[in-house]
Amino acid sequence: MAAAAEQSVPTDGGEIVVRAIPVVDVLFVVLRPIERHPWVTQEMSFVQNALSALSNYKNAVLAFSYVVFLWENYLSWRQFVRFYKLDVPPTLQSVVEKDDFVKAQAYGKAKAKFGFVSSFFSQFQTTIMFTYDILPLFWNYSLDILKKFEIENNEILTSLVFVILIILVSTIINLPFSLYQTFVLEEAFGFNKQTIGLFLVDSIKSLAISLIIGLPVLAGFLRIIQLFTNFFVYTWLFMLVFQFTFTLIYPTVIQPLFNKFTPLPEGELLENIVKLAKKIEFPLTKIFVIDGSKRSSHSNAYFFGFWKAKRIVLFDTLLEQANHQEILAILAHELGHWSSNHVLKQLTISQIHIFVIFYLFSLFIHDNLLYTSFGFSTQPILIGFILFQFIYSPIESVIGFLMNLLSRKFEFEADAFAKKLGYVSELKSGLVKIHVKNLGSMNPDPLYSAYHYSHPPLVERLDALGKFEKVE
């Protein structure tokens, strides 16, 4: 066995030394009995038999995609109908002008119509892809491309070519929708600030960064699976390291390629933010303003960084839309996420989720029916992982819903933290202003919002914060 490798991982509470190999050994010891347990074997057999009853995996996946399609469009229709109601809800009548409410309803209606069209087109693509075995065609074409360079029997290179082709074709197909959303829908309501040139430059940059970072990561992922029988632990550790690395470099290396960061100027706001951070012992090192108005008039604020090097970022649009006390209240909310360890909790859940996905994939990777159902005569690892995600999608839909529930709970807790710091009235007025400026949905359908929203509706947040007065 290889020697134990140590790695220091920074956390909010200090540094933890991770000994990678012993952890792997422990996981193997724990999971091997579970994998062999009769209950697990019976459950896996039940799932596979149920899918086989639908002829094959492909029929099951396509059938479920239509179930989700119909369900989500039913929810969207419920929400769409509510956009025609032009009377301000009683709870908001004292804080929102009717003209602002009507404009928000019109914006929501326009987005809903666009959503119906894009949803139908997406389902059409899915149906065509499965019905005519488009994925095998792309895989075979990838093999043909490499053969022209006298490269054969190289699964990893074939997988990389396959991904490049899929990304390029998908980008081209979806480009008209992106252009319409940016230059027609968002433009009509005064949000878009981009030029065609900036849009194209951003698209090219995003595509290039995705390929430069994604392809080596994919190659490493596939190589690990080739090397290890019990690959699920090693792929999880590999992705864990990648996620931490990406989280570290994104705000300092990647995002500056798209936006300009400038230090918040000296003044009352800067002094008050520093005081707020000191009050709750938030390890603030820098405060930046980002030129979000370069592309959109939507606003935001967030913090990033590990351990004792936290940084706060304010969108320039937020500085225009809210006063200093409201900005402090919004930051108090964001710092509530830090104080309650929401990021760490979500990270832990996501890592468990990823680990379970890799483990379940290890049970399906050699299932011949998985490949033949979708028109493949061989068993490439990447294809297996993609197809496995298709059949795993019902579970993923449930998990997505549960994560939204958890996220909304965290938002209420962050609001309560800001209230505890004495920013209740400022937070309420700030939330209303941002909602009005961003034309957020003010009359959501309960079922639609419960399924889709990761943040509670404005009315629910204001009710939780208590009574409020009209915002000037």
Strands 301-304 and 310-315: antiparallel
- Contact between 297 and 291 (Cβ < 8 Å): no
Among residues 334, 367, 411, 460, the one annotated as catalytic is 334
**Residue labelled with tokens 């094959």:** 56
Q: 284 pairs with which residues across the strands?
A: 310
Strands 261-263 and 284-290, by their bridges, are antiparallel
Dmax over CA atoms of the chain, in Å, equals: 73
Which 3-state string (H, E, C) describes 196-237?
Answer: HHHHHHHHHHHHHHHHHHHHHHHHHHHHHHHHCCCHHHHHHH
50: helix, coil or strand?
A: helix
Number of C-beta neighbours around residue 99 at 10 A: 8
Identify the DSSP state of 296. B
- Radius of gyration of the chain from Cα atoms? 25
Write the CA distances from 212 to 189, 208, 219, 220, integer angstroms. Answer: 35, 6, 12, 13
C-alpha span between 372 and 103 (Å, rounded): 52
Residues 102, 352: Cα–Cα separation, whole Å: 43
Token pair of 293 as six digits: 């108005």
**Coil, helix or strand at residue 315:** strand
Q: Distance between CA 268 and CA 323 in Å, rounded?
A: 12
359 CA to centre of own chain: 22
Give the pair of three-digit tokens for residue 234: 């090693």
- CA separation for the pair 95, 100 (Å, rounded): 10
Q: Among residues 415, 426, 445, 460, which one is catalytic?
A: 415
415 carries an active-site annotation: yes
Residue 279: exposure state from Cβ atoms within 10 A (0-12, 13-18, ≥19): exposed
Catalytic, 271? Answer no
Provide the pairing of β-strand 14-19 with 6-11.
Answer: antiparallel
Residue with tokens 């030129």: 291
Question: Active-site residues: which are they?
Answer: 334, 415
